[in-house]
Amino acid sequence: MDRNMRFADALSPNGQRERRPMQVAQLKLAGPTVLLAVVLATAAGAEDKSPVAKQDVQAKLAYCEVCHGVSAQGFHGYYPIPRLAGQQTEYLENQLQAFVEHRRTNNIMFNVGHVLSPAMIAALAADFHDLNPKPLGGAPAELVGAGKKIFEQGISSTDVPACSSCHGPEAKGDGAFPRLAGQLFDYVVSKLQNWDKERGQNPAQPDASALMQPIAHNLTAAQIKAVAAYLSQLE
C-alpha cells in the first residue's frame, strides 16, 4: 500500500480525488523491481509524524489500487485481494499494525506497512473509508438465502452467534469490527477457512482476532460459503 509514485494531476481543481484507471494500469506494468524500489525509498521517513500532503496520499492510494483494485473495490486474481473501500478506519489501522507486528501473516503487507508513517496510515484509512464502489459480486446466488439466515440469526447448535451482532445489521462494521458488506466472496471463504493459520500468530501480543477463532472453527465449509455469498452482494 505504499507505492510512492507521483502523478502530475492527482487532484482536481476543487481538491477532490479523481480515479485514474489508466494510471493504475500503467503502474501494473512497472514490474516488481520498480515497485520494490518505491517501497524501500520511503523507509527513511517512516517515523515522520508530520502531516502528509494530499498529493502524497493520492500517490500512495494509486499504489494500493494496483493490488486492491480501482477505488479499492477488491481484485479477483491468482488469489483474492480484499476490498478496502468503506472499511472502518480503526480496523484498517489495527490490521496494518498487525501485519507489522506479525500478529497477522503476510510478507507483502509487512513490507508495505512497516514503512508507513502514522500520519500516512491515518490518511489512507480515512480515504478508504470514504470510498463506496459497487461490489464486484460473482458469488453463487443460490447460497445467498442461507448466508443471510446465518448472518442475522447465527447457528445456535454450534454456538455461532449472529454475525450482525458485531458487524452490524448491514454488515458495515463499527470501530474495530470490520465492514464485511461487499467483500469478495473468495476472500471471505479463504480467511475463514484459514483463520488459525493467518490471525493471532504472535501469542505474546493477543488481539481481537481471538474473538473470531472459535466462530470460524465452528462453521462448516458450506456455511462459510453461504455467509460469504450473502456478504459479497451487500452494498
Q: Is the pLDDT of residue 121 over 80?
A: yes
Q: Is the pLDDT of residue 227 over 80?
A: yes
Q: What is the pLDDT of residues 96-118, one digit of tens each?
A: 999 999 999 999 999 999 999 99
User: Taking all residues of the chain, what is their mean pLDDT, rounded to a whole number?
Assistant: 83
From 35-49, 125-139, 217-231, the region with the lowest mean pLDDT:
35-49
Domains of the chain, by residue range, sit at: 21-130, 141-232
Homologous superfamily (CATH) for 21-130: Cytochrome c-like domain (1.10.760.10)
Query: Alpha carbon of 65 to those of 85, 162, 210, 235: distances in Å?
Result: 10, 32, 29, 20
In the prediction, which pLDDT does 222 show?
Answer: 98
What value does the mean pLDDT take over residues 54-81? Answer: 94
Q: What is the pLDDT of residues 195-204, one digit of tens each?
A: 999 899 998 8
Give the CATH fold of the 141-232 domain. Answer: Cytochrome Bc1 Complex; Chain D, domain 2 (1.10.760)
Supply 189's cell numbers. Answer: 471463504
- The pLDDT confidence band at residue 192, using thresholds 50, 70 and 90, is very high
pTM for this entry? 0.77
What Rg do the C-alpha atoms of the chain give, in angstroms?
Answer: 18
In the prediction, which pLDDT does 170 show?
Answer: 98
Q: Who contacts 116 (Cβ-Cβ below 8 Å, separation ≥6)?
A: 1, 2, 42, 46, 96, 124
The three-point CA angle 182-120-212 to 5° equals 40
Q: Is the pLDDT of residue 233 over 50?
A: yes
In the prediction, which pLDDT does 115 show?
Answer: 93
Q: Are 183 and 232 in contact (CB under 8 A)?
A: yes
- The pLDDT confidence band at residue 49, using thresholds 50, 70 and 90, is low
Q: Do domains 21-130 and 141-232 have the same CATH topology?
A: yes
What value does the mean pLDDT take over residues 225-235? Answer: 98
What value does the mean pLDDT take over residues 153-167? Answer: 97
